[in-house]
Amino acid sequence: MKHITPLLVLATILLSPTIQAAEAPSIVPRPQQMKITGGAAFRLNAQTKIRYQGDQQQVSELLASALRPATGFPLPVLKDTQKDSNRILLMTDPHLKGTGTEGYTLVANSSEIEIRAKTTRGLFNATQTLIQLLPTKIHSKTKSSNTQWSIPAVAIQDHPAFPWRGMMLDVSRYFFTKEYVLRYLDMMAMHKMNALHWHLIDDAGWRIEIKKYPRLTEIGGFRGKGENRYGGFYTQEDIKEIVAYATARNITIVPEIELPAHTLPALVAYPHLGCFNKKFEVPTRHSISPELYCAGKETTWTFLEDVFTEVAALFPGTYIHIGGDEARFSRWNKCPDCQARMKKEGLKNGHELQGWMTTRVEKFLKTKGKRIIGWDEILGAGVSKDAGIMTWHKPRTAVDGAKRGNPVVMSLTGHAYFDVAESKLPGEPPTATWIKPISLEKAYTWDPIPAGLTGAAAKNILGASGCIWTDQFLHKAHILADKPGQGTTASEAYVDYLSLPRMGALSEVCWTAKTSRNYENFTGRMRTMLARYTELDYQYRIPVPDVTVKPNAEKTFTLSATPAIVGGTIRYTVDGSTPTTDSKVLNGSVNVAKVAGFRATTFAPGNKRHSLLFQYSDPSNKYGKQGTLIGKWKSGQVGNTKAKEVIFDATGHINSNGLYTITFLFTGGRQRLDIDGIEVVRNDTVPVGKDIHHGFTGGSRKDNTYKIKVSNYETGASFKIKAMIYGDEGADSNGVVLIRKGE
């Protein structure tokens, strides 16, 4: 045996690259098809070359520049003039089947990696997959000497489920620097997101330079006075740079130029654009201004056409977003010019005037080769079938729009408004509260195609877009208390936190076929993705430990959890204190005597950041109004379709004569609990009272409370509740029994 051991060790070492390669790589969004072909891995090393065919130099250079810092390899980018090994080859192939314009194939073996796509856009997406086939250290900005840069032997064929995979960034309420916008584009690109909806204008600031109207940014780009003066804008040179950066990363920028509402800075800069030529100020607090562009005066049209001419020239994409949301018509109703316009055009009310305005803008933009997209309010305004509808608050508009033939992008508040928090846990940053939290799971388990929409109409759903509104910067000024010396400002970190990891979920909603989507599988792959975010220094929300609590027979508890991040740890305490980097590490599972003081947090790799606190809470606490917990029923303990007597001990809870109310509450399982009645006995034998009626508790509940009048209370006696209970179609039912004194 002595002689065999070293050989075995050697064999293990030799085999390990293949063994590693056999594990499915963690790619987000999940590719449509990926085969682990099983051969030896491709090793990126100092001799590796990146070769390209045709005019694919730029996308090849982008790949090289992504791989160079961490590897330290030269990775020369060369034309494909000779067949050689140890290379990554990028080529367009017009005959490629089944990949569409944005898809690709990627085949890796020990001697080369070959990437094919119909277009540069597909090649770029392939490079993002290739980077995710490498260890997470590939994102390091400095050379990582101890890493093996191997790529498993795989054959991938991939394409997106939806053509519009978007994020919206509100730069009006908060002005993000050009550098942060570029960083945000990188964040999107790694998820294969391809549309940045750029909310450039709102009541709180005008952010795009318009050469013909310099006051828009000089005046309208700033708010507040003295040292509280705040603002900024993008010059046209900035915008050209941002657009070029996005285009190289397969991202189209859709600028939003709001009208007729949400445009107060334009009226501040040029009062004649409003109905009554009034002077305004750019507001420093959040509000939705009732002021609109005057739809009656021709001077408004001169202005809008000039602005849209400059905007159309800056953005190469097809769509220009014209807003259209939340217009209120009190000004138009009183303005003589607007009233005259309505009379002349035969329009009945403000809605029809907005529709007229929208279609006039649409017609103008058509002359510039552009199509409009607007919030769902624009549907029904007489826009053409070319107009894109962005459904945010009225799901019905998605169905109506798609059936009518309009392209539709889904930005539903309940799934895609990432300016709300992921949870209500203490410690979440201040966020929008007018809608419920959107957990990672809720962001993931969503089909952009509304129920019932099929066939050609369903194809009009272009995809989905997540929204990062920055109203909170106006509500909660302290978010702006940026700490100097950090790589990312507090405000930028805040937006990172809201965006990630939910952008990962949305990317998969938009990219991966519905049949290949599975939340558990996704969170498994996200473990690696979160480690990538850590390397990139993205200030993402670290998942709270998902702790399973199992009571044991000997009255202890087994707590188990897996860190949600590769290289991360879960640390815990049992005394109610907040875990620190010195606290014990939860490796798999731990036994504790009490769960009440158990606390746990996830620490990201490197221990620099951690999650919010996991705190065990007794499920009965939720039912405070119903009384105190006296017992639980569990799967298998109750009758299987037939009533069975189960005893709950109320000793100590029945502590004087009087009326008591006992409630059964279902907490989980496949069957509801049916209750035929209860009987209370004193010292196991003496009848106290009974309440015999049928009730049930499950997805819904009826008559599930029972009342007992105690008139023979005796100090020191035991009181037990005998309940006749059963699952309606089996015994898989769980719940709690609660008692309170009185009604």
| Residues lying near Zn ion in the complex (CB under 5 A) | 275, 294, 296, 335, 337-338
Angle at 288 between CA 284 and CA 291, to 5 degrees: 100
Note whether 250 and 102 are within 8 A (CB).
yes
CB-nearer residue toward Zn ion: 84 or 305 = 305
Taking the least distance from each CB to Zn ion, the nearer of 360 and 476 is 360
- Taking the complex as a whole, the smallest distance from the CB of residue 339 to Zn ion amounts, in Å, to 8
Helix then strand then coil, % of the chain, to nearest 5: 30, 25, 45
Q: How far is the CB of 159 from Zn ion (least distance, A)?
A: 49
Nearer to Zn ion, 350 or 545 (CB): 350
**Minimum distance between the CB of residue 273 and Zn ion, rounded to whole angstroms?**
10
- Say how far apart CA 663 and CA 721 lie, in whole Å: 12
Cβ nearer to Zn ion, comparing 151 with 307: 307
User: What end-to-end distance do the CA atoms of the chain give, in Å?
Assistant: 77
Please, what is the minimum distance in Å from the beta carbon of residue 269 to Zn ion? Answer: 17
Minimum separation from the CB atom of position 289 to Zn ion (A):
15
**Cα–Cα distance, 170 to 192 (Å, whole number):** 20
Nearer to Zn ion, 274 or 689 (CB): 274
Give me the least distance between CB of 276 and Zn ion, in Å please: 8
Q: What's the min distance (Å) between Cβ of 206 and Zn ion? A: 20
**Min. distance of Cβ 283 from Zn ion in angstroms?**
21
338 or 665, CB closer to Zn ion?
338
Copy the structure tokens of residue 11: 């064999």
DSSP string, 214-282: THHHHTTTEES-GGG-EE--B-HHHHHHHHHHHHHTT-EEEEEEEESSS-HHHHHH-GGGSSS------
* The two three-digit tokens of residue 375, written as one number: 């919030």
Residue 407 near residue 388 (C-beta atoms within 8 A): yes
Phi, psi of 283 (to 5 degrees): -70, 145
Nearer to Zn ion, 243 or 273 (CB): 273
Task: Output the six-digit token pair for 270.
Answer: 């040029």
Sign of the alpha-carbon torsion through 275, 277, 278, 280? positive
Residue number with CB closer to Zn ion (265 or 296)? 296
Of residues 220 and 296, the one with the C-beta less far from Zn ion: 296
**Which of 88, 91, 66, 92 has its CA nearest to residue 77?**
88
Report CA-CA distances (Å) from 329 to 263, 326, 356, 376: 14, 10, 14, 17
* Among 235, 228, 225, CA closest to 200: 235
Q: Kindly state the smallest distance separating residue 275's Cβ from Zn ion, in Å.
A: 3
- Output the smallest distance, CB 332 to Zn ion, in A: 6
- Distance from C-alpha of 277 to C-alpha of 140, rounded to nearest angstrom: 55
Residue 554 near residue 577 (C-beta atoms within 8 A): no
Q: Measure the CA–CA gap between 682 and 720, rounded to whole angstroms.
A: 7
272 vs 670 by CB, closer to Zn ion: 272
